[in-house]
Amino acid sequence: MSGDIEGVGIVKTYKARGDVLAGQTVHALRGVDFRIPAGGAASFIGESGCGKTTLGRILAGLETYDSGRLSVDGVDLSGLRPKKREPYFRRIQMIHQDPYSALNPTRTVDAILTDPLTLRAKQTGRPKSWIAERQREVLSLVGLEPDYVLPRYPHQLSGGMRQRVVIARALTVDPDALVADEAVSMIDVSLRLGILKLLRELRETVGVSVLFITHDVATARYIGADGELYVIYRGEIVEHGPTETVIADPVHPYTQCLLSAIPVLHGLERPGPDRLTPTEPLADSQSDDGCLFAARCPFATDRCRTERPQLGHEGGTEQEHSCFHPARRHVVAVSA
Amino acid sequence: MTAATEPSTVDGASTGPGVRISDLTVAYRTPAGELPAVSGINLELAPGSITGLVGESGSGKSTMALAMLNAVQQPGRITGGVIEIDGLGDVLSLSPKQIRAARGGSIGYVFQAAQNSLNPLKTVGKQLLDLGRSHGVEDKRALVRQAKELLSRMGLSGERVLDSYQHELSGGMRQRVGIMLALVLNAHVLVLDEPTTALDMISQANILSIIKDVHAEHGLTTLVVTHDIGVVAEVADRVAVMYGGRLVEQGPTVDVLRAPSHPYTRGLITAIPRLTGDPDVAQPLPGRPPTLGTIPRQGCVFRERCAVYAAGAREDCETVDPPAYDIGAERLVACHVVEEER
């Protein structure tokens, strides 16, 4: 199965509009490198406004980037004409956060799935009869009963079923990768795990890779414990490595703050002894000099405020990180 | 981590009042007749405690929270029950004038998506003065001073926030403004409906610690309504689990999390992905939450998704709606099987 996706130095800036910030440049992504192997899993975690959604949109072809290289199977997409680029973006499909607005309310599930399948049948020279067959196939893949959902409208389905329809629709075009941006945050809690489990299983049954974008580290771990975790802060990757390593042994204070913020299930767990909180909230006014996290970091030194750290393995860590003073801290809750 | 249950100060005045909800039933008028969204709920909020009300969408938790203000909207209607608040009496039998004064007065309410419950056309300060005017506050300066104090207590600059429009504030800041508006008139009972939904983890942790601190400092009785067990685990002394309009389990948070009794509570806790241990320990709950029309009319509302019922169907699960059995240690569980095996 092919479908390695690689990004090198992806930069995206927005020009702010409006009265307050007019003319200011917002750095959504400041040179991000990542690699998602075929069938693998990569998760991007970070706060609101750290650039993780922008990255997902760029991957799905919904957003352009200013500079850098995005390649699928080693083919650099940046240099291609739109017509040539199109087939590559077909291979990366997006699962949106809100299944309520991602489906057209005036169309039945049947119609929602028929359109992309008709296109796909044309592209691959398959007969019309294949469409109905494939419809049932993708619906069974996502755990839905075709006879029940096909004639129904989105409003007749529960949130969990709707999200499954969104996933089924993404699968109609035979993608290599699914980009799931907070894909379960609008779903009822008792149904969330079912969707996460489905995404995990699709990695095996269909061989798609999953790029999971979330602020909830535990869900990222559930989907891709064997994958890679990227911690992104203000458009920069600050820590990256195997998911289990970064969660069990984080060294960047920002990662440690993120992990500390996860609620502790008192009774089942005790809080980690080194639980950390940022000294200040995220603000637009925070300086771009030195380490981007310095203004909120409890351990920042003068060097942090003037010099920008680079990703590396300083201190001999397994994972990459960009901190001048990497230190192991036990922040994750421990089982009681 | 959990805030102390005991009164925050020795003199009784700064402890929140007790709240007793008995036999509360709220029904919605639908084409299929009047259907209960909340049925026969008994819940006591101990003075000065934080209670977490957990449930999924459609469980009736928001309806129940609104009933605390006697503010259930048409086509909903409170068809029975009593909500008694110390020093205020039965909320449901107050006169329209009294209830208007109580809302935002002695009962503070932070709405679901407080982010979007602010008026986009007015600065926060203007909305604060509106609130003061509608409650007949004479001393506007004191009101503003109080608001600034609350805001700075929550780590915001009072001056700046009062001069801001809602779009100039981040999600976490708006949530704090919502809490300020709920408390500025010295409320003693605070109801927070989904206070951290749509916030990222760091802002959530921040808001939760603010809720705990403000609760202790102001001597409140607090009800936190949420779908997230994690939120309850962080802030609440007691937890009440709602399903299909009923309270299926309640008890001290730590005990319920450690040893959940009701199959639904057990299922919910097992469905939380964790950061340590084997990820496969987490298991999804089968089926889906009922809607108003699909809540079983007879028997236990949870039986269609219940692992215990699936393992061996029992007749009373189908015919008798289980009452809240007292299983000791301040815990109540509405399950026939748990009661019988005890």
Is A238 domain-assigned? no
Using a CB–CB cutoff of 8 Å, tell me whether A335 touches chain B: yes
Tell me if A191 and B289 make a contact (CB, 8 A cut-off).
yes
Cα dihedral: A180, A181, A185, A186 (round 10): -90
Domain boundary among A163, A198, A232: A232
State what percent of residues in chain A have pLDDT above 70: 97
Same domain, A54 and A138: yes
pLDDT reading at A286 higher than 80: no
Q: Express each pLDDT in B147-199 by its tens digit.
A: 999 998 888 888 899 999 988 888 888 888 999 999 999 899 999 998 888 78
Chain A hits for B200, CB-CB cut-off 8 Å, are: 47-48, 215
Helix (H, G, I), strand (E, B) or coil at B136: coil
Q: Give the pLDDT confidence of B76-122 residue by residue, as tens digits.
A: 999 999 999 998 999 999 999 999 999 988 999 998 766 678 899 99
Of B46, B51, B49, B44, whose CA–CA distance to B5 is shortest?
B49
Same structural domain, A226 and A286: no
Sorting pLDDT into bands at 50, 70 and 90, what band is A27? confident
Using CA coordinates, name the residue in chain A closest to B277: A335
Mean pLDDT of chain B: 88
Tell me if A241 is assigned to some domain: no
Q: How far apart are CA A38 and CA A116, in angstroms?
A: 23
Give the integer Cα–Cα distance in Å for A145 and A104. Answer: 20
Per-residue pLDDT tens over the stretch A99-152: 888 999 999 999 999 999 999 999 899 999 999 999 999 999 999 999 999 999
The rounded distance, in Å, linking the Cα atoms of B129 and B9 is: 31
Handedness of CA B30, B31, B35, B37 (dihedral sign): negative
* Model confidence at A33: pLDDT above 90: yes
Nearest to A249 by CA among A336, A321, A324, A335: A321
CB within 8 Å: A221 and B257: no
Could you give the CA distance from residue A264 to residue B22 in angstroms, rounded to a whole number? 32
Among the partner residues A189, A196, A216, nearest to B56 by beta-carbon distance = A189
Residue A215 pLDDT exceeds 90? no
The minimum CA-CA distance between A85 and chain B, rounded to whole Å, is 34
Across the interface, whether the CB atoms of B228 and A263 are under 8 A apart is answered yes
| Residue A32 C-alpha, separation from nearest chain B C-alpha, in angstroms | 22
pLDDT for the residue numbered A232: 95
pLDDT for position A17: 67
Confidence category of residue B2, pLDDT binned at 50, 70, 90: very low
Q: Using pLDDT thresholds of 50, 70 and 90, give the confidence band for residue A183.
A: confident
Please answer yes or no on whether B233 and A20 come within 8 Å at the CB atom: no
- Amino acid A157: pLDDT: 87
Q: Is A281 part of the contact surface with chain B (CB cutoff 8 Å)?
A: yes
Write down which residue in A182, A200, A232 finishes a domain: A232
B282 and A222 within 8 Å at the Cβ level: the answer is yes
Of the listed ranges B133-137, B221-225, B292-296, the one predicted with least confidence: B292-296
My answer on whether A23 and A147 are in the same domain is: yes
Residue A300 in any domain: the answer is yes
Q: Per the structure, how many domains does chain A have? A: 2
Burial class of residue B339 in the structure, from the number of CB atoms within 10 Å of its CB (0-12 exposed, 13-18 middle, 19+ buried): middle
pLDDT at position A249 over 50: yes
* Kind of pairing between the strands at B238-243 and B325-328: unpaired
Question: Does the residue A243 lie in any domain?
Answer: no
Domain assignment of residue A267, given as a range: 251-336
pLDDT per residue over A45-64, tens digit each?
998 888 888 999 999 888 88
Q: How far is A30 from chain B (nearest CA, A)?
A: 21
B275 with A221: Cβ contact below 8 A: yes
- Which one-letter amino acid corresponds to residue B304? E
Domain identity same for A211 and A314: no
Residues A57 and A110 in one domain: yes
Do residues A205 and A272 share a domain? no
Q: What percent of chain B has pLDDT over 70?
A: 95
Q: What is the pLDDT of residue A142?
A: 93
Name which residue leads in pLDDT, B277 or A9. A9
Q: Do B201 and A215 touch (CB under 8 A)?
A: yes
pLDDT the model gives residue A283: 75
Q: How many CB atoms lie within 10 A of CB B278?
A: 8
Which stretch of A171-180, A203-212, B10-19, B58-67 has the lowest confidence by average pLDDT? Answer: B10-19
Interface predicted TM-score of the whole assembly (ipTM), two decimals: 0.86
Do residues A121 and A113 touch, judged by C-beta distance below 8 A? Answer: no
Find the residue in B nearest to A268 (Cα). B258
Residues A75, A198 within the same domain:
yes
Give A-chain residues touching B172 at CB under 8 angstroms.
281
CA distance B317 to B134: 50
The answer to whether residue A273 is domain-embedded is yes
Q: Enter the tokens of residue B30.
A: 């639908």
Does the residue A240 lie in any domain?
A: no
Provide the chain A residues 210-269 that lie in CB contact (below 8 A) with chain B. 215-219, 221-222, 225, 247-248, 257-268
pLDDT band at B314 (very low <50, low <70, confident <90, very high): confident
Percent over 90 (pLDDT), chain A: 60
- Shared domain check, A261 and A222: no
